[in-house]
């Protein structure tokens, strides 16, 4: 198996608010920008997909709980290894994310800061080189 591309998809309540937040956070305009789906390139090998909670229900049907039930509850973590985690962390906070934990050395060796977006998605900004 050869992995051609990778993306992480999050479900959000307000897609335009999340589009603005993540576009500004990553300094990248969407490569796909539809009313119910936005795709933001993070780098050459990774994209963030943003789907409205209402539209994903039409795809997933009734076999899974409606994402709206868990809105605001942490459902995942987007772990980003970056050059200057404190800079991206501060940018996220200024953009409206909630601070969870400031930059500190974690038990696995990385320096990591944690924030949470408007929908409860946890963002981790890490520096693996500072081990």
| Those residues with Cβ within 8 angstroms of residue 109's Cβ, 6 or more apart along the chain or in another chain | 128, 131
pLDDT in tens, 3-53: 777 899 999 999 999 999 999 999 999 999 999 999 999 998 899 999 999
Distance of CA 6 to the CA centre of its chain: 14
Check whether 131 has a pLDDT greater than 90: no
Instruction: Let me know whether 52 and 88 are in one domain.
Output: no
Instruction: Let me know whether 84 and 33 are in one domain.
Output: no
Instruction: Let me know whether 89 and 48 are in one domain.
Output: no
Please state whether the predicted TM-score (pTM) of the whole model is above 0.85: yes
* pLDDT confidence of residue 15: 96
* Cα 84 from Cα 125, distance rounded (Å): 8
**Residue for token pair 């509850």:** 73
Quote the domain boundaries for residue 109: 72-131
* pLDDT confidence of residue 17: 98
Our count of domains for the chain comes to: 2
Instruction: Confirm whether 16 is domain-assigned.
Output: yes
Instruction: Let me know whether 77 and 31 are in one domain.
Output: no
Q: Is the dihedral of CA 55, 61, 63, 69 positive or negative?
A: positive
């Amino acid at each position: 198996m050869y992995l051609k591309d990778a993306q992480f998809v999050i479900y959000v309540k307000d897609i335009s608010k999340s589009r603005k937040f993540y576009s500004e956070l990553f300094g990248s305009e969407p490569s796909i920008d539809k009313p119910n789906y936005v795709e933001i390139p993070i780098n050459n090998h990774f994209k963030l997909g943003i789907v409205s909670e209402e539209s994903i229900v039409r795809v997933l049907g009734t076999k899974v709980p409606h994402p709206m039930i868990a809105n605001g509850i942490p459902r995942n973590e987007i772990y980003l290894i970056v050059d200057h985690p404190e800079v991206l962390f501060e940018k996220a906070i200024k953009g409206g994310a909630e601070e969870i934990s400031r930059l500190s050395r974690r038990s696995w060796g990385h320096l990591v800061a944690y924030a949470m977006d408007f929908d409860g998605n946890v963002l981790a900004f890490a520096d693996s080189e500072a081990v």
